[in-house]
Amino acid sequence: MPRRAIIGSLAALPLIGALISIPAGALASPAATTASVRASAVTSSSLGTFTPTFTGPAATGCPSGCSLLTGPFLSPSTASLAAGAAGHAASAAGQAAGPSDELMPPPRRPHATHGAIRRNAATALPSVSCQPLGPGCDQINPSAGDAVGVKGLKVVDSSGLSTNVTGRDNEPPDQGLCASNRYVVESDNIGEVLVFDKALNRKSAPIPLDTIMGLTPRGLSSGGDISCAFDYSNGGHWFFTEFVSKGLTANGGPFSNCFAAVANTCFEGIAVTTGPDPFGPYNVYLANANYNPAEPGAPFLLNDFTKIGLTRDAFLMFYDEFPQNAGAPGFGGGGFNGAQEFAYSKRALETGQPVSLGNGQPNPFFNVAIENMGTLATPDGTCAGTAGVACWAAAIPAMPPDPTQFDNSHGGSGFMLASLDFNSFAGLTPSGDNRIAVFDWTGLRGLNSPNCVGCGDLQFGGQLFSNVLPYNDEGQNAAQKAGPIPLGDMCGAAGLSVSPAPGVQPPASCPENGLTTNGDFMTQVSQAGGQLWGATNTQINQTFTAQAAPETRQGIVYWVIATGSFDRSRTFGLTSQGYASAAHEDLNMPAIAASGLPFQDGGNGRAVITFTLSGNGGPTGADNGGFFPSTAYGRLSSTSAGLLGSTLNVADLGQAPQDGFTEYRGFPIATGPRWGDYSAAVFSGGKFYFANEYIQFPNCQPPQFTVTHATCGGTRDGLANWGTSVNFAEP
């Protein structure tokens, strides 16, 4: 199907569309700080509307007749594993012959090989007043407030799984969270789930996603980067997604295949329960990252950072596409092909329909729409013209909590949000930005028509907001409170440090470092009450009257986008925006769950935002020297322009510093200790549920601590000590 700009032309993006002033009252006054933006200054412009790259049966999936999707194959129920070992291997001291670990690939960012891009001037860091206390600087309430929390998955759960790569430790523990009216499910790297009831009582042991997806018998292995969702439609179904790689776990799994740039080995696994029970059975589909041999960089393409969303008609899936082989580069000879957006027929997935019929022909009722965003220009240039730098990236689908929050305008709509600091995406020196983009699918009901004959009205479009609250995450690590680090004390003996110079011994001990915040891109988008909620990390200058210089800390910026105006006029509105930061401390990895419920004081939608709290107390040693990595949260309304009450609560208090191998490996060369690449939050059954990484237990010391598995009563492993928490709070 030909590519056709319906409105505007992205080749001349600065001239697209008339600038739209945000109507008075449509934008609540943002935080009154030196980084505040007046409502009258925020403008928006069209990014164009396009015929999708492809629409039609998923068995075809691209113009050259190749196969995008295969399946399903039926994977049996895991109910028998619910209360049992669930694939755990025996965990005894000395199990491993020596230290072994796996660094999960970070959210990948392209590397500029040549060419120049037009970049915005560096954006000044936001600044908030903490003394006197002003908007955007928040008080820390050490209590959990009305939140109820339990310990979730931890490193020994992951390394103890027989489906893990040779029983290794891994970092970081990316998280997914989903809930129905009966169950709450946490999912985690490298690929396992834990099932709770609605009161957060455990209903299972850790269950490997490898088992859920039936991978090992098919010569496949789990690769992490998980997501999950529950959909009430068609009787209720759970979706689980993750990297899937050719090659058995016993032979290295994804670390020897997909992640190692072996051709034609990268897939995205999609497991869909046949009914409302999270234990399955499951229909499993495989999306081939190299489905289009004409795509630049094929057959060495990686489907990175996959996120999912739901609409009335579609299962939305996004990933960033990376060519992994230098001899097969991407657009413009670069290392990145941009965001890829897929909209599958949700009904087909939930009813377990085959992608292809028994006669080999495509199933006419299993359709897909594809938008290759690498072909769409950005305000800073084109993906091909900048060697894979100025590409749309991390355009995250929105997740509604239930069918009452679907947007059924314009024949069925779905939404995505993205930030625009392309330097940060590209691994260049971040310049920050003051722009965000919202994208939309319309006409999604056409996916339900045979052979997609009703897809003629299916379109993909976008809108740019300029002069929103600025953000700039230059990669500064989030500090953490000092404490015992037994692995750091013996990192030389563990083989983690390196020699600083020829003939010089590697350091015997290594210092505690901060937590990696990854960059200023969004990781989750919530949709409820006619609003889209998205957030990202940013550095923030905190000013104190008693201090001569500001403290530069890690904080959060968020935006609330109205979809009601889109329903009427196909233009979005900016409802609210704000900063959150903790005085003298750091916040990172935000996730928002919005309820769609009215607020008693005037109809404002309400939400909870969760993040990791850590810090060293700053120059004054506040908060008794800061915080070990902890789970914290605050409350928002759709017009609050910051945390309600300027207060955040500590849902689960961290018990020790992060003391994993990514803190130290390669020291004294600069290290970037990995932290959970994303948190998760969802509204379900009248409650907010949220989860992220924290340190569950105090770090023990030798002789209890050893650099082998099964140390310290099962509270940690020798090479890692991460844990997670799962919480709920009432609206």
How far is it, in rounded angstroms, from Cα 267 to Cα 247? 12
Q: Are residues 480 and 468 in the same domain?
A: no
Q: How would residue 605 be classed by pLDDT, with cut points 50, 70 and 90?
A: confident
**Residue 87: pLDDT above 60?**
no
Q: Are residues 467 and 447 in the same domain?
A: yes
Report CA 584 to chain centroid distance, whole Å. 26
Q: Region 474-492: what's the mean pLDDT? A: 92
Are 622 and 584 contacting, i.e. CB atoms less than 8 angstroms apart? yes
Token pair for 652 = 């689960």
Domain annotation covers residue 252: yes
**Looking at residue 493, what DSSP letter applies?**
T
| Final residue before a domain boundary, out of 256, 273, 290 | 273
- Please tell me the predicted confidence (pLDDT) of residue 476: 82
Q: Are residues 450 and 479 in the same domain?
A: no
Tens digit of each residue's pLDDT (9 = 90 or more) over 205-217: 999 999 999 999 9
What's the CA dihedral at 264, 266, 272, 274 to 10 degrees? 40
Domain annotation covers residue 486: yes
Domain annotation covers residue 113: no
The range of the structural domain enclosing residue 458 comes to 1-7+47-68+281-472
Tell me which of 138-142, 172-176, 471-475 is least confident.
471-475
Q: Which of 425-438 are b and which e, b meaning 16 or more Cβ less than 10 Å from the residue's Cβ?
A: bbbbebbbbbbbbb
Tens digit of each residue's pLDDT (9 = 90 or more) over 429-467: 667 899 999 999 999 999 999 999 999 999 999 999 999
Domain annotation covers residue 119: no
| Final residue before a domain boundary, out of 472, 497, 528 | 472
Are 661 and 496 contacting, i.e. CB atoms less than 8 angstroms apart? yes
- Please tell me the predicted confidence (pLDDT) of residue 138: 98
Domain annotation covers residue 114: no
Q: Region 31-44: what's the mean pLDDT? A: 53
- Please tell me the predicted confidence (pLDDT) of residue 112: 42
Are 724 and 677 contacting, i.e. CB atoms less than 8 angstroms apart? no
- Please tell me the predicted confidence (pLDDT) of residue 599: 57
Tell me which of 9-23, 192-206, 362-376, 438-452 is least confident.
9-23
Q: Are residues 534 and 631 in the same domain?
A: yes
**Residue 267: pLDDT above 80?**
yes
Tens digit of each residue's pLDDT (9 = 90 or more) over 704-726: 999 887 789 999 999 999 999 99
- Please tell me the predicted confidence (pLDDT) of residue 426: 60
Q: Are residues 60 and 206 in the same domain?
A: no
**Residue 604: pLDDT above 90?**
no
- Please tell me the predicted confidence (pLDDT) of residue 104: 85
Domain annotation covers residue 138: yes
Tell me which of 28-37, 230-239, 639-648, 656-665 is least confident.
28-37
Tell me which of 79-93, 183-197, 504-518 is least confident.
79-93
- Please tell me the predicted confidence (pLDDT) of residue 664: 94
**Residue 10: pLDDT above 60?**
no
- The residues, ordered by sequence, that sit 6+ positions from 207 with a Cβ below 8 Å of its Cβ are 78, 81, 82, 86, 87, 192, 193, 194, 195, 279
- Please tell me the predicted confidence (pLDDT) of residue 144: 97
Domain annotation covers residue 112: no
- Please tell me the predicted confidence (pLDDT) of residue 23: 35
- Residues of the chain with pLDDT > 70, as a percent, come to 87
Domain annotation covers residue 366: yes
Tell me which of 30-34, 75-79, 147-151, 209-213 is least confident.
30-34
What's the pTM?
A: 0.92
How far is it, in rounded angstroms, from Cα 485 to Cα 267? 38
**Residue 105: pLDDT above 90?**
no
Mean pLDDT of the chain: 88
Tell me which of 163-177, 187-201, 333-347 is least confident.
163-177
Tell me which of 108-117, 359-368, 463-472, 609-618 is least confident.
108-117
Tens digit of each residue's pLDDT (9 = 90 or more) over 219-265: 999 999 999 999 999 999 999 999 999 999 989 999 999 999 999 99
Q: Are residues 371 and 468 in the same domain?
A: yes
Q: Region 335-341: what's the mean pLDDT? A: 96
- Please tell me the predicted confidence (pLDDT) of residue 109: 56
Tell me which of 1-5, 300-304, 555-559, 560-564 is least confident.
1-5
| Final residue before a domain boundary, out of 241, 273, 305 | 273
**Residue 424: pLDDT above 90?**
no
Q: Are residues 514 and 578 in the same domain?
A: yes
Q: Are residues 176 and 162 in the same domain?
A: no
Q: Are residues 363 and 449 in the same domain?
A: yes
- Please tell me the predicted confidence (pLDDT) of residue 657: 97
Q: Region 678-702: what's the mean pLDDT? A: 96
- The number of folded domains in the chain is 3
- Please tell me the predicted confidence (pLDDT) of residue 673: 86
Q: How would residue 122 be classed by pLDDT, with cut points 50, 70 and 90?
A: low
How far is it, in rounded angstroms, from Cα 382 to Cα 13? 10
- Please tell me the predicted confidence (pLDDT) of residue 428: 64
- The residues, ordered by sequence, that sit 6+ positions from 158 with a Cβ below 8 Å of its Cβ are 164, 169, 170, 173, 188, 189, 190, 192, 206
Q: Region 46-62: what's the mean pLDDT? A: 93
Q: Region 407-414: what's the mean pLDDT? A: 98
Residue 668: exposure state from Cβ atoms within 10 A (0-12, 13-18, ≥19) = middle
**Residue 115: pLDDT above 60?**
no
